[in-house]
Structure 1
Amino acid sequence: MNLQNSFSIILLVSAFFTFLTSYLFLKFPPKSINWFYGYRTINSMKTKAHWNFAHMYSGKKFLIFGLILTILGLIGSFISLNNILGSVLAITISILGFINIILKTEKAIKRKFNSN
């Protein structure tokens, strides 16, 4: 087990911040719509109901993605990768995961609030 390769380090650090984001969104969501803290998109900022839903939904997705990043980071500690390849791969996984969370959250907002 080698937790010193770039792949594992980047994924585990990303997992930490993903868990932190999940915790903040689920336990301490912003009380009011703002441009400083929270899940801020045009759809999530339409109403207070949109805002609250977006934080609960994305908070759960961040938690799941944090678990995935942790598992991948630990698995990666058993794999020997070139530092550049490991870094690019880990950053790509992280970015694609965050994009996926945003796309799923936006779709869920539209599904929930267009049906009302």
Structure 2
Amino acid sequence: MWFWWFIFVCDLLIPVIMIIAGNMMWKHAPKKINGIIGYRTARSMKNIDTWKFAQEHCGRLWWKIGWVILMPSVVIHFPFYHSSENIIGTVAAILCTIQCLILVLAIFPTEQALKRTFTEEGVRR
């Protein structure tokens, strides 16, 4: 039973981090373009306008997605409460993989929004 609780908490980390990081990026984005913190792609780092737009867009997206995947992440675990550690671990690995994939896939809508809003030189359309 302790293993189930441990895995349950671990599988909630990605949605919770998405909610917290998304809120921070959305409302308290890094003021300066940097290569360490924030949404960092070549298109987002063209100038300060593209930087702010990308932080807000990706942050808002992560915040929304984090809330959306939090509930299924909780519900998926309950049928496996009395299952073996192997089954719980397998379910957790599949869930974590899906969560990470969703996290990374947020790049595509953000890049599309940047492309729609800015020219290749980073000038607002």
- Residue 16 of structure 1 corresponds to which residue in structure 2? 16
* Distance (whole Å) between structure 2 residues aligned to residue 90 and residue 5 of structure 1: 14
Q: Does the Cα contact within 8 Å between 1:11 and 1:70 map onto a contact in 2?
A: no
Is this contact kept in 2: 1:19–1:66, CA < 8 A? yes
1:26 matched to 2:26? The reply is yes
Q: Which runs of 5+ in 2 are unaligned?
A: none
Deviates more, 1:99-108 or 1:74-83: 74-83
Moved over 3 A (4+): none
In 2, distance between residues paired with 1:4 and 1:106?
37
Moved more, 47-56 or 79-88: 79-88
- Identity across matched positions, percent: 26
Q: How do residues 70-81 of structure 1 correspond to structure 2 at under 5 angstroms?
A: 70-80=70-80
Shift of 1:93: 1.2
- TM-score normalised over the length of structure 1: 0.85
Q: What corresponds to 1:41 in structure 2?
A: 41
Preserved CA contact (<8 Å) 2:14 2:100: no
Which residue does the alignment assign to 2:107? 102
Letter in 2 for 1:34: N
Bigger CA radius of gyration:
2
Per the alignment, in what secondary structure is the counterpart of residue 43 of structure 2? coil
5+ long unaligned stretches in structure 1: none
Verify the 8 A CA contact 1:25 1:38 in the aligned structure 2.
yes
How many residue pairs end up in the alignment? 114
Give the structure 2 partner of residue 56 of structure 1.
Answer: 56
Classify the secondary structure of the residue corresponding to 2:106: helix
Question: CA-atom RMSD, angstroms?
Answer: 2.1
What is the TM-score of this pair, normalised by structure 2? Answer: 0.80
Give the SS at the match of 2:78: coil
**After alignment, is 40-49 or 89-98 more displaced?**
89-98
